[in-house]
Structure formats: C-alpha cells, structure tokens
Amino acid sequence: MGIDQSTEMPKRLSDKPIFQRVAKIILYVFLIGVAVLQLLPLVWLFLFSLKNNQEVFNLPPLALPQDPQWGNYVNVWTQGNIGQYFFNSVYITASAVILTVLFASLVTFAITRMQWKLSTLVLGLFMVGLMIPVHSTLIPLFNFFLNINLMDHPLAIILTYTAFNLPITIMILLGFYYTLPREIEEAAIMDGCSVHRLFFQITLPMTAPVVATTAIINMIYNWNEFVFVNTFISSDKFKTLTVGIQNFIGQYQTDWGAIGATLMISIIPILIAFLVLSNRIVEGITAGSVKG
C-alpha cells in the first residue's frame, strides 16, 4: 500500500513556523543575556561611584549604597580639577582625530586614485607602522620631544596619537575607497574639477560612513590612552582624565568613590559618541567588505 503524502506535507509545513518561533525566542534570550553581561560593568561602576571607602570594601560589588554619595561627582569636578582634565581630553582627542582622519584620507586618496611610482612603497611603509610596538618608542620619542622643546606640551600628545593611528586608519579606508565608483570622479574631472576640489567636495563626502567608523575607533583609543600622557606631560594643567585620576590616590588613603566618579564621567562621552555614530560604524565596516 502506498503512503498518503497529502496528509504528511501539511504537518511538516505547520511544524516549520513553530520551530522558527522557538529558535527566534532562544536567539532573543541569548542576545538579552549578552546585553545584560555587557551592561553589568557599567552598573557596577555607577554603584561604585556612589559609595564611600567603607562601603566599597564591605558591601558586595552590585549592592546598592546605603547612603549614595552624590557629592563624589561634585567634589571631583570642583576640588579634583576634573573640569580641566575633561577639557584637555576633549581638546587633545578631537584634534588628534581630525588630523588622523584628514591625513589618512589624503594618503588613501593618493594611493588609490593617483598613479605614481612610489605609491606601493609608501603604502608598505605605513603598514609597517602596524608592527611597531607602541611602548618601544617611548624613549626615542621622549628624547625627540625634549630636543625640540615639546615636552610637557599638548602638541606632543596630538602628534603621537596621529602618527600611531594613521596605519590602522589607512587600512580601514583602503577597503572602502576601492569600492567607490570612479565614474563620478571621472565625470567631475571632465567638467574641469581640480584635484583638491575633487577630494574635498566629492570623494570625502562619499566616504562619510567609513570616516565615522575610523573617527570613533581613534576617539576611543585617544580618550583612554594613558602611557604617552603620563610620560610626556608633567604639568597639571595639561593632564587628561586618565592621568588625572591619580590625584585621588594618596600615600596613606585613596578616595575610591572619587575615582569611580571620575571614571564614570570619562565613560559618558564615549557612550554618547557610540550611540550617535553606531549606525555609521556598521555602515562603514560593511561597506568596504564587498568589492564591486
């Protein structure tokens, strides 16, 4: 006797949507769990910043403070000179990001859009920079800035950040530039557009997604960097947030609540920038992944 397939097919088709719904629920539960794990450090830091020294050591990490010390934020801003450190971090980070993105875009434009003999060699030299350990350059850079009187000056930090971020920024931009249609640029040249106008008015605006990606990557590195600032800057008026935190560490006592408040203040700009530019970051990462 033959098998009646007409009764089997509807059952299989009806089981498929149920399986898809279960799989989607499992996926959402997993993603929610990952999101909670990612947010736990921020919650812990926020609660940490509202505790005094006794509560920091006596209460569990995620326990609510018995008497929230909102004054920690006021003290670090008024007495801890955090306002000056915050301004220095914004100024140095923004300057270095603008210079890095601009110079990297110019280099990438020259390598991908112009024909010259040393383009491959120049690209190779920039890529060699990816293999140089950052800390191996501290002593040479210290002597160099000392000889040209740039020690204890924000320009030393800005130049260092720009130089070390150029290789990775160029590497990210290359993949995107190769996907840009040349027809638009060729049409602009036929209309008499100069090279400088072609770059600033046509090519650079088209690379906005990847520029946002490289900007946020550079910003995170520059904002959180500690070693170069601690080595090249000694004056209190030029220190950034990452180095200024040391002011709350004393020989006999450390104000842990103030340290937590300072760290929380330093994280807020990065979170805001990431939330604002998150869509641009995804576009920039995916746009250069497929050529053509």
CATH number at residue 142: 1.10.3720.10
Say which range, 66-75, 79-88, 266-275, 282-291, has the weakest mean pLDDT: 282-291
Residue 70 lies in a domain: no
Neighbours of 243 (CB within 10 A): 22
pLDDT in the model for residue 281: 64
For residues 105 and 249, state if they share a domain. yes
Could you give the number of structural domains in the chain?
Answer: 2
Residue 292 lies in a domain: no
**Distance between first and last Cα of the chain:** 56
Q: What is the DSSP string of 9-58?
A: HHHHHHHHHHHHHHHHHHHHHHHHHHHHHHHHHHHHHHHHHT--HHHHHH
Residue 57 lies in a domain: no
| 216 vs 156 pLDDT, higher one | 156
- Report phi then psi at 249, rounded to 5: -105, 110
pLDDT in the model for residue 222: 93
- Rounded alpha-carbon distances, angstroms, from residue 125 to 47, 88, 137, 176, 221: 47, 31, 17, 20, 22
For residues 35 and 144, state if they share a domain. no
pTM, two decimals, is 0.81
Q: How far apart are CA 107 and CA 151, in angstroms?
A: 28
Average pLDDT over residues 155-175: 93
Residue 216 burial by CB count (10 A; 0-12/13-18/19+): exposed, middle or buried?
buried
Separation of CA 42 from chain center: 17
For residues 45 and 84, state if they share a domain. no
DSSP lists the bridge partners of residue 249 as 254
For residues 268 and 183, state if they share a domain. yes
Average pLDDT over residues 30-50: 91
Residue 60 lies in a domain: no
pLDDT in the model for residue 292: 44
For residues 108 and 154, state if they share a domain. yes
pLDDT at 14 over 60: no
For residues 235 and 163, state if they share a domain. yes
Q: Which tokens go with 168? A: 């990775």
The answer to whether the Cα torsion of 26, 27, 31, 34 is positive or negative is positive
| CB of 209 closer than 8 Å to CB of 182 | no
For residues 269 and 214, state if they share a domain. yes
For residues 23 and 165, state if they share a domain. no
For residues 97 and 27, state if they share a domain. no
pLDDT in the model for residue 1: 47
Residue 64 lies in a domain: no
Q: Which tokens go with 153? A: 């000056």
Separation of CA 176 from chain center: 19
For residues 136 and 209, state if they share a domain. yes
Residue 89 lies in a domain: yes
Residue 71 lies in a domain: no
Residue 175 lies in a domain: yes
For residues 37 and 153, state if they share a domain. no
Domain that holds residue 37: 5-49
For residues 42 and 129, state if they share a domain. no
Q: How far apart are CA 97 and CA 108, in angstroms?
A: 16
